[in-house]
Each structure stands twice: as C-alpha cells, then as structure tokens.
Structure 1
Amino acid sequence: MSTATTRSPEEHARLLCLHNSFKPIWLTETIQLGPWLPSDRDVIAEYMNDPRVYEYLFGPPIPYTLKDADDWLAMRVDRITEKGTPLDFAFRDMARGGRAFGCVGASDHSDENLAEDDTGYWLAPEYHGQGLMAKALKMMLYRVSVTECGKRKFNSFAFEGNWASRRTLEKVGFVVQEDMTRSIVKYGKTIPQWVLRLYLTEEDVKRWEKETLEATPLPSLVQ
C-alpha cells in the first residue's frame, strides 16, 4: 500500500479536501463505508485498546493513546488514489449516529508487488458474524484496487489460528498458499502466518461488478 510522503501545505490541503468529501458507500441499508475523520479519534483509541481487536492486528502500540489515533488519522490523507479515493475506509453504523466500528483497506500496489499485504481490516466484536467484512473487502478491492488501479493480483496474510480472518479472505476468493511460509515478531513473540493470494481473470472482474453493487439505505437514514 502507499506510504506517506512529504507534501507541500497546498497539496496536503487539496488531498485533505478530497479525502473528507468522498461520498460514502452504502454497504447495507444501515451501514456505510466512508473516509476516516478526525472526530473518530476516540472510537479508534477505544477499539485499539480492546484485546479482542488488537490481538490479530500486526502491531498497534499498547496502550493505544489518542495521539496514536491522531497520528494514524493524519496518515490516511496520504493513502489516496490519483482520483481522490481513500484507500482506508471506516465502517459507520448510521442507525447509531454514524459511529465508526471498523476499518477496511484497499490496495494500489502494482501486480508485480506481491510481497506486501494487499488488505487490511478490523471490526468491532459486536459486529462479528454478520458477513460484513467479506462484503466490504470485496467491494473495496473491486471499486478501488481493480477499477481505479487496474490490479488483478492480490496478496494477504492472516495469523495462523485466526480462522475468522482466513474464512473472510476465502469468501472473497483468496486461496491459502500451502507452500509459502511467513512469520512476524509481535510484542516479542514470533507468530506464523498463512499466506493467501487472489488472481482475478477478466471474467472474474465482470462477475464482481454485479456482486459489489451499493445497497439501498433505509429512507429514514438518507439526508
């Protein structure tokens, strides 16, 4: 995924405007996917200090402070496509006033770069088991990575034993690479990971177009 770069104040202001004005996408009749905003700092810190969330993430600092949240949010502006589409999206429950409760990240990597993780995601525990992440991940990969960036090949990792994450990726179409091994060191402990890959044909892309349509929101939630 993109790395933060040094930008002029004018360029940063332009990207910030594009980022914050991105039109949210309705994932379900009550849940949106949209850009992360500075006002989300408290909810990010809340979930990043929940072991049910950070246990399977690659390395948020613990304890996670509001400054950590502010720094992470500031870097989201650098993760944006040339067309102004964010690469990191917040899940928002519009039935709860737009409260953020998870994150899904798309990728703008070249197909030649299959060494990094092309996906990133977490979800608040109270929203687990609803099929939201697989649906969101597929939608974001199609609408951003495939359509805007022309990607057809994807690489991803999941901690061995994290069957929920593995099943999510497999629902999208990722396949475990049994002949590949990888591990990371987290909090001083070596953790093995599954390597999963996804290769899309043009037929797959056409099928995904039909499978990633935006939902119709409840009339009461449309402003």
Structure 2
Amino acid sequence: MPHESTVPKQDTEVTPQESSAKRSPEELDRLTRLYDSFQPLWLTETIQLGPLYPSDKDRNALLKHLNDPRVYSYLIGPPNPYTSNDADNWISGRFDRMTKQGIPLNAMLRDMAKDEQIIGAVQVSDISDDNLEGDDVGYWLAPEYHGQGLMAKALKLMLQEVSISKVGKRKFNATTFEGNWASRRTLEKAGFVYQPDIHKKAVKAGKELNLWIFRLVLTEKDIAQREVIMQATPLSSLAKSSMV
C-alpha cells in the first residue's frame, strides 16, 4: 500500500550555530515565546497538531519514523539513514520556519493518548506565490495511522490557519512520486489539481523517478467559499494535557 506522504527537501542545511547567528538574542527570545505560545490544533479527540520541540522524545520519534522504509521510501527530501545530527539540525532550524507573526510552518501530529508521541508531520511554505517550484506543502504519517483521514485534515487545517490566513499565500505547488495514489488523494482532498502537462523527475536512492505535479490556485472568492475545517473536541482527560 502506498504511503500517504510527500515532503519537500529538508532544511537540514541550517545548523544550530547558523540559525542562532541569524537572529539577535532578543529576537530569538521573542520567537521562542511566540513559538511556545502556539495553540495546538485538534484533528480528533486524541490527535493533536502542534510544534516540534527540542526534546529527546521528539528527536527519538524522528529517528524512529524517518528510518522506517514504509515512511522514507515515499519522501523526496530527508537523508537516509536519518541520523541524530539530522534530527538535531531539523529541530534547531524550527525558528527559521515561522511566519512573520511567529506561527510555526512545521507542525507535528501527536497521539496525546499515547504519551504525546509524534506520529507524523505536515509543513507549509511562506515562499512567494511568484515561485511555483518545489513544494509548498509536505507531510508524512506513521503507517499504523493510515486510512483515518488524518493527513488530509491536517493539511487543510495548516493551509487554512497558516498559509492562507497568516502568510497570505494564494498559489501552491506540490509534488509526489508517480504512483503514490495515497498522497495524490490527500492533495486532491485539499483542493490541489494534478498537472498532467508538467513533467519533472527527482533522484531517490540513486534512481531518477517521475513526479506528479499538483497546483492549488485560489482567488478571494474561492477562499470565501472554501470549506471551513473545524477542530475536534479533545477528550476531557486530554484537553489540558501539557506538551513535551
């Protein structure tokens, strides 16, 4: 069964030192407080969509899932094998993937009923609409959570709450490996349209593979008429559950 995922190339080029050097201590403090104040979104009564944290728990979750062939085989960007250094660089660069308002562009799916464990990720872009190349969205999901509609809802929520309302994006590009029907269905549920006349390739494990290209172009009228994705109501026992 194809994995329901596609991910832009990982921003692992940003090292902790480079990330810190880009911002003053005051700016880092401001962004840290904004980041930590982000209110997670609830996909189901037990699954939450929220920030990535610099914790051993989150690092170990990334190592577990991104070294799982059922996940990484369908991802374009992350290296394989995925190392602790890759995870640390990814986590440290989170402040370089925020909107101007301090909203994270990367969000993790967590099963709050299972020790708040990361089970997937979704990210969006703040790249200008003038540049429809690469990927404006990306995602992966642990195989045991497939078939529940989680990723489609997570993607739509991130587009609604971050890309459209906070970033102001109206045009989006996305890619997935040819034949990844699960990912194609996820993108189409979010409004993306397959572009049969655009042909691109990507190299994976030394092999050149064909990509499917998708576009989402919204007018203000489209946005006004777009379905509003509502959050779920969490179980009362989890409603005040603390993050990592």
After TM superposition, list the pairs within 5 Å mapping 1:87-126 onto structure 2.
87-126=105-144
Greater CA drift, 150-159 or 19-28: 19-28
Q: Per chain length, whose mean CA-contact separation is higher, i.e. which structure has more relative contact order (CA < 8 Å, sep 6+)?
A: 2
Which position in structure 2 is the counterpart of 1:55?
A: 73
Alignment partner of 1:7 is 2:23: yes
Which position in structure 2 is the counterpart of 1:148?
A: 166
Q: Distance in 1 between matches of 2:221 and 2:45?
A: 28
TM-score by length of 2: 0.86
Q: Distance in 1 between matches of 2:23 and 2:205?
A: 32
For these two proteins, the number of residue pairs brought into alignment is: 222
Alignment partner of 1:202 is 2:198: no
Q: Distance in 2 between matches of 1:180 and 1:62?
A: 28
User: Which residue among 209, 234, 241 is the counterpart of 1:217?
Assistant: 234
Q: Is the 8 A contact 1:20 1:37 kept in 2?
A: no
Which position in structure 2 is the counterpart of 1:19?
A: 35
Alignment partner of 1:42 is 2:60: yes
Unaligned stretches of 5+ residues in structure 2:
1-7
For residues 31-50 of structure 1, the C-alpha deviation after alignment (integer angstroms, 9 at most, x for no partner) is: 11100011200000000110
For residues 122-159 of structure 1, the C-alpha deviation after alignment (integer angstroms, 9 at most, x for no partner) is: 00001011111111101101111111111111110010
> What is the alpha-carbon root mean square deviation over aligned residues?
1.8
Shift of 1:7: 2.1
Q: Distance in 1 between matches of 2:198 and 2:82?
A: 32
The one-letter amino acid paired with 1:200 is: L
Which position in structure 1 is the counterpart of 2:3?
A: none
Q: Distance in 1 between matches of 2:77 and 2:96?
A: 20
User: Which residue among 20, 24, 30 is the counterpart of 2:46?
Assistant: 30
Shift of 1:61: 1.9
Shift of 1:59: 2.9
